[in-house]
Structure 1
């Protein structure tokens, strides 16, 4: 650069400065105005929440917030059944049901650095008798260790949020109302039950596109396309210049075109929205029709978005990421297509005769499950599995978390550790689908539980169940936390571990049993309320078939002589895992969230958003929004099944029997975090443990067995952030792979 260009550049920079300053002043004024409106809205919500018949879903719609936001401001409104969603959203909306089971990377959770002090407010518990299990009262601190007689009355009060040290209050989990109001929740949703479908899904022709190289593969052949900048218009034009209009689903295997230009946006989701809403070729519009397995509009997801368009009345197209199914690990489009072929063949081979590979693993999983519902006359549940009331479903949504995600940092662990080891429970959820709660649960109050015999109490805790408990951690406890507790944020959980600490939470029977019977020291559990289901096996046939397909594909991947087919079968086995994982997630039936976009008006004016929607992003041409529409009338809504699997999986992460036997006793060997030294656990990620201690658990190849996936047996700096964690995770896997070469 010479002095002339430098001077010219300074002039251009000053012009940008002069243009930016008035906009910044406007932004400051706008932010101040927004702050006042936020305060006004919060005050109005609290005022409306005092109305005896107020419901969180109606206030959420009027306020443009989520139900969780409303509950945070007015805890007395949790949980509430939401109004039914409209039959079909406008053309610009998309329903996020595609990825209900997908879990976004968890944000760091701020944990308490010490137990609450004696004069800090304690969570209250419902009135009535309380059954205390586990450790004796001498293990608790002076305030919470006080024993009340079994039939004593206790004051009922809203639980006080515990301080987190970050200025944020922990979420307050809802309780079941006392008396008849709470008892009325225990009913089936009228006219709603899970029944076997009487139709077969329509198969959609698929194509596979590497957006980086332009290689397109479909049943009819392989071509290399010129995609230009890989905009939506360029992809649609180039693909359908070669492929027939019957191709309705384009999977992007590499290149992530929706991330191009992301540096111009503050958030990745904004970049995705801008790409999805880019100009279209003549004759194309955003898809507006809906069918049994088709949805309208786009799904704005930061990494695995879904775009839906149509040309005329008959041609429909989706552009999706194959990352919904598995990480392609550099596989070319032909290998990825072969993986889907192997997936279909493996599912057919295990008697999923009506199998159709749908757009996402969650859709595929739920459709396959629905075809295992019994239909034989006289068979139990042949009339369908009843769907619980919206109140119970709302309670489970608010109180049953998913997989455990936790990064444990200094000073809980040393700044430097002697090694890095990753072990992962393969196909773990299949191990926890043999028994699930069916029908409408019974309510087990504190008094009812206290009146049970010890055998009845044990039977209740081992049955499919979900409990509100007050937990006291033994003094001197030095290992990881065992039970989830609510942390700041809509769906955040943390795992208290400080000896002597007491907290109130909800947990599944599997976790309560683990806390009472863990191999180190029993925790003290006080039953406050609970839901108890009849034990059944609604998921067993489905998960057994998926397990057989998974094992078959893994075996073929090990033995096949063709490298492309080996990789295809390996990817297909991971797709089966996704079907199980995300299929279970669809049973949770979270509140229905729709997203959409609108073009900016003249001069960049923000248009009016749909009623109840809130702004989520803005680009040079469009705004994006989302709207919480509450719980739809979904005949396949069974959050009790998802909650039971998640609870059992979290418990197994701590201690579980393996498929290997102890030579001395013949009993199954145990594995899990509690069987590793205290202070050696560095992180949890759903079914994986990261530790600084060498792990020698034998891998038997059965679902739920721990498989060593990464190893660096030399000193490492302990990760403090997710970025550092994922960096070490990658290095550990590379190091283990290098050992085998």
Structure 2
């Protein structure tokens, strides 16, 4: 090619660029119009469900939708026989059974796997190659997942609540039946196995080309009726505190409001004693009949619709019954962002203002969305690189691989250790909490398509190659044996059936098969007490990348700004608001990370009692008039689904609960974690915190990941027999430590 041809090609390329830009604008305009028409169709389909003789097949033909689509939009039109309602009695019976004490270890697997010669270390074995069994089709995670509960249409949203938050919900206890090990999927051979080393075609996490629009937001104390709107506080009359009455009162005072945060009063719990479960009570409140308001069916870019039923943090989405095309109004809980802890509505509004200002210093286009999860993900998308290898976005793993990660990658460690492993009477209960813990583990994450490592290929590696593989972003299928003489806490998660999903065996000689991240496997092999025997059955090794590093650094900077403000500001209200805002930044990171996990969808809805329920549903409850149900719908084509990132961070955080090193540059200047406490002193693990029977000499520098003393309850303290009892003791310990600190400061003065 000569210079003249080259210049001509460049000129043609510029013309093509202009034409492509015009075509993209045309497509965007057409897509916007299509979304608007589709929303109108959904509203009309939902409205037809009110006709007693409406037929789903007829509606489907008239609307151009499939029968399944019609049923998802209007569950009342589902022609399925009502026989599935027989499951309701079983569900209600299970809801009132007292909770059993936590199981401490799974059924031991016979130790019939002798260690071959030539092992990397005394703990790491190199088994002969074995034929691995294919994973069952449609494997899904056996971990709790939140559900968007819909009254009219299906909604697809990521999980927003971590295990630690779910565990503290004050709901009727359920029997935790854990009869033995739970079999986990493995990597199949042949063509089926190739899908576990692939990405989803045409699905990439891309940087957005639009700016989020802020919503007009107010803050309401439902107990007092105080409403913070702009720079003033007014007192409202809320009547019986139904959704319709709240919406009428708020919009009469603050027209144009699109989002209402309830800071106190929990109106969704009014009359809860009339229901069998708290979730039924919340569902009943959200669906309170109103002549003026109806459930929103979704419109615009996010298409969020329907109600989200949660015991403490529900979301109600409403639209005027006479003008359903107007803007949706949400009623949400302030608890999604932080515990208001008695703060008034003006302080809560100030906290939101400070939060937005802190984020805007690091994102020019930062907007506070409805939840921390939505906000966290939106902020992350605006850190996707525009240069380098991943400038085009991060590919989403295959559905098979996402399913494997969901089934085998647990969340935070929650474990109550019972006697005789700890005393019946505790000499003290001392709580340590890792500061902004997950932010410590965002500097490196897996990217791209993983490389599969078989047992044979791992055995063929040199010791240096094996160590490098384990230290990389990796996920391993392993067979583990607790060493003889071990007298400390368990190190690796073992799958069990029942509500707990994972336990941490520590009984010497116990053998189990599991999956774990490279950080945990490496710790089991190299801990300072005694190496565990770990047999590599297979694994996945990713390229080390930094997709979360920039996001994490900006959030850490915002958190540090607000934390410093909460300590140094001279005004008491400003200090409290800054502290609450710093807690909100923590929620943005915590729930934003959980959003990457993108659990298999659990769609749910409500159906009037006596009407046919959709096929294959699980009944959640009934209030006498409405049946609330849910069913699994598999994975959505979410371009921001990255369970590999969440799994890697969770694994690193679990390892740091056991062993964390304080560094000054590359030099280790201190250690902390359960393995550095005396055997028999660890009482509880809670995601990013530990409770022990004595204080520890762990330094606190105020940096992310550091262990902070949060509570100290002087003994003797009866050992808690349940998580609920532990949480009560934890609250007492925090109050006692706060009182002691106040007295110390007063004495110093």
Q: TM-score range by the shorter chain?
A: 0.7 to 0.9
Structure 2 match to 1:11: none
Is the Cα contact below 8 Å between 2:215 and 2:258 reproduced in 1?
yes
State the 1:712 CA deviation. 2.0
- 1:412 maps to 2:416: no
Structure 1 match to 2:183: 172
State the 1:537 CA deviation. 0.3
State the 1:614 CA deviation. 2.6
- CA change 1:319–1:166 in 2 (3 A) is closer
- CA change 1:320–1:588 in 2 (3 A) is same
CA distance in 1, matches of 2:390, 2:72: 33
For residue 567 of structure 2, give the secondary structure of its aligned residue in structure 1: helix
- 1:620 maps to 2:606: no
State the 1:446 CA deviation. 0.5
For residue 196 of structure 2, give the secondary structure of its aligned residue in structure 1: coil
Structure 1 match to 2:146: none
CA distance in 1, matches of 2:195, 2:618: 33
Moved more, 176-185 or 397-406: 176-185
For residue 715 of structure 1, give the secondary structure of its aligned residue in structure 2: strand
- 1:685 maps to 2:661: no
Is the Cα contact below 8 Å between 1:123 and 1:503 reproduced in 2?
no
Which residue of 475, 478, 489 corresponds with 2:484? 475
Structure 2 match to 1:111: 103
- 1:315 maps to 2:319: no
CA distance in 2, matches of 1:615, 1:478: 44
State the 1:319 CA deviation. 0.5
TM (norm. structure 2) is 0.78
5+ residue gaps in structure 1? 1-84, 94-106, 138-146
For residue 222 of structure 1, give the secondary structure of its aligned residue in structure 2: strand
State the 1:91 CA deviation. 6.8
Structure 2 match to 1:304: 313
- 1:287 maps to 2:279: no
Structure 2 match to 1:90: 73
CA distance in 1, matches of 2:619, 2:633: 15
State the 1:490 CA deviation. 5.9
- 1:373 maps to 2:384: yes
Is the Cα contact below 8 Å between 2:105 and 2:504 reproduced in 1?
no
Structure 2 match to 1:221: 232
State the 1:625 CA deviation. 1.2
Q: After TM superposition, list the pairs within 5 Å mapping 1:20-59 onto structure 2.
A: none
Q: Matched residue pairs, number?
A: 612
Which residue of 192, 211, 221 corresponds with 1:210? 221
State the 1:135 CA deviation. 3.7
Is the Cα contact below 8 Å between 2:405 and 2:647 reproduced in 1?
yes
CA distance in 2, matches of 1:506, 1:348: 40
Is the Cα contact below 8 Å between 1:132 and 1:525 reproduced in 2?
no
CA distance in 1, matches of 2:736, 2:251: 43
State the 1:424 CA deviation. 0.4
CA distance in 1, matches of 2:425, 2:313: 36
CA distance in 2, matches of 1:155, 1:195: 36
- 1:237 maps to 2:238: no
CA distance in 2, matches of 1:336, 1:437: 37
- 1:653 maps to 2:657: yes
- Measured against aligned partners, the alpha-carbon deviations of 1:589-627 in whole angstroms (never above 9, x if no partner) come to 101122211223xxxx2x112344332110122111112
State the 1:722 CA deviation. 1.7
- 1:329 maps to 2:341: yes
CA distance in 1, matches of 2:592, 2:70: 23
For residue 430 of structure 1, give the secondary structure of its aligned residue in structure 2: helix
CA distance in 2, matches of 1:367, 1:154: 43
For residue 440 of structure 1, give the secondary structure of its aligned residue in structure 2: strand
Q: After TM superposition, list the pairs within 5 Å mapping 1:256-655 onto structure 2.
A: 256-280=266-290, 282-311=291-320, 312=323, 313-350=325-362, 352-376=363-387, 379-489=388-498, 492-600=501-609, 605=610, 607-655=611-659
State the 1:151 CA deviation. 3.9
Is the Cα contact below 8 Å between 1:209 and 1:251 reproduced in 2?
yes
RMSD: 2.7
CA distance in 2, matches of 1:543, 1:109: 38
State the 1:496 CA deviation. 0.5
- CA change 1:628–1:153 in 2 (3 A) is closer
Is the Cα contact below 8 Å between 1:109 and 1:493 reproduced in 2?
no
- 1:251 maps to 2:255: no
- CA change 1:445–1:722 in 2 (3 A) is same
- Measured against aligned partners, the alpha-carbon deviations of 1:147-186 in whole angstroms (never above 9, x if no partner) come to 8x85465796999xxxx99672332111111233212321
- Measured against aligned partners, the alpha-carbon deviations of 1:557-608 in whole angstroms (never above 9, x if no partner) come to 00001111100000000000010111111111101122211223xxxx2x11
5+ residue gaps in structure 2? 1-67, 77-98, 137-174, 743-749
- CA change 1:306–1:676 in 2 (3 A) is same
TM (norm. structure 1) is 0.79
CA distance in 2, matches of 1:507, 1:579: 26
Is the Cα contact below 8 Å between 1:89 and 1:296 reproduced in 2?
no
